[in-house]
Chains A and B, each alone.
Chain A
């Protein structure tokens, strides 16, 4: 297996993975989406709410706020030694809010949430939770826990996770002259004109839609779109809860754990 980092910043990572099977790529994708844990509010005790949004709507909005996650410091509630429904310091973070509009209408932002652990805070301080008019109050205590995407999408660490085949384009050099139909139709601007000839400008943007082949006026289109065998482009966009490279590290760890468990179960059957 060969891995090459094509693009990386604090939210996005794009990898070119070669010499692997689709099934492995798909298991990675599915683990990222449904098995990598992250922190999210999932219980709210509303003490006072005189705003115009109901308790349930505010709780729902709170649940969707992405929180920066500390995976080493916390346990999943189902694996925690406390085994209590309420949770303990190792599986729960308390966030509190006490806000009141004194003089005029004001917006309550996610930045006003006070967390007991400075490592678990909202990803952005500027998410509006509710608007309060003069005299209205909002006071609550919220409990954040680790969870997995398969239970609720708010625990998904990514907002995009896809893989596609590595494209392979053959552009004819002899037959095609003075025709730019395939260049103009391409929605991803993969092709370009160099003088009178067609050339590949941005190969990795190709999504294999084949519009260029369909648009060609010739009976046998000289342009050929295929894909490399066993080479993929894996793109991940984190919601900010975990850095993208950390998400991939966790994914491989979880896959390994699952395979070990499968092996153990099979060996138990044999005996």
Chain B
């Protein structure tokens, strides 16, 4: 749904690293190098970022569309 705060296995904080990771992956950087530079050395923490899908963005679209429809309804 949304990036977990900590690694499931070891408990290292990973939540604050997601946004930088996602941004740098989008620019075409190598995932392994990005993870190294974020100081994630164990594979338990690396998979937290590698395998995360931010589904919350897709779920939020329902609320965003509802809000738009409400606004349009008020306008006419």
Q: Which A residues lie at the B interface, using CB under 8 A?
A: 52-53, 61, 64-66, 105, 110, 123-128, 130-131, 133-136, 153-154, 156, 158-160, 237, 239-240
Contact check, A105 vs B13: say whether CB atoms are below 8 A apart.
Answer: no
Point out the residues of chain A lying under 8 angstroms from B59, CB to CB: 52
Q: Choose from B12, B42, B57, B67 the contact partner of A135 (Cβ within 8 Å).
A: B67
Report B2-17 residues with CB < 8 Å from chain A CB: 2-7, 10-13, 15-16
Q: Is B63's CB within 8 Å of the partner chain A?
A: yes
Q: Choose from B5, B12, B18, B67 the contact partner of A237 (Cβ within 8 Å).
A: B12
Question: Would you give the shortest CB distance from A42 to chain B, in whole angstroms?
Answer: 15
A239 to B57, CA, bound (A): 28
Point out the residues of chain B lying under 8 angstroms from A53, CB to CB: 1-2, 56
Question: Would you give the shortest CB distance from B35 to chain A, in whole angstroms?
Answer: 16
A128 to B60, CA, bound (A): 15
Contact check, A160 vs B42: say whether CB atoms are below 8 A apart.
Answer: yes
A136: nearest residue on chain B (CB-CB)? Answer: B63
Q: Which B residues lie at the A interface, using CB under 8 A?
A: 1-7, 10-13, 15-16, 18-19, 42, 56-57, 59-60, 63-64, 67
List 11 additional contacts besides A53-B2, A136-B63, A239-B11; criterion CB under 8 Å: A52-B63, A53-B56, A124-B13, A127-B5, A127-B15, A133-B63, A158-B11, A159-B10, A159-B13, A160-B42, A237-B12
Contact check, B11 vs A153: say whether CB atoms are below 8 A apart.
Answer: yes
Contact check, B5 vs A64: say whether CB atoms are below 8 A apart.
Answer: yes
Contact check, A131 vs B13: say whether CB atoms are below 8 A apart.
Answer: no
A145 to B1, CA, bound (A): 28
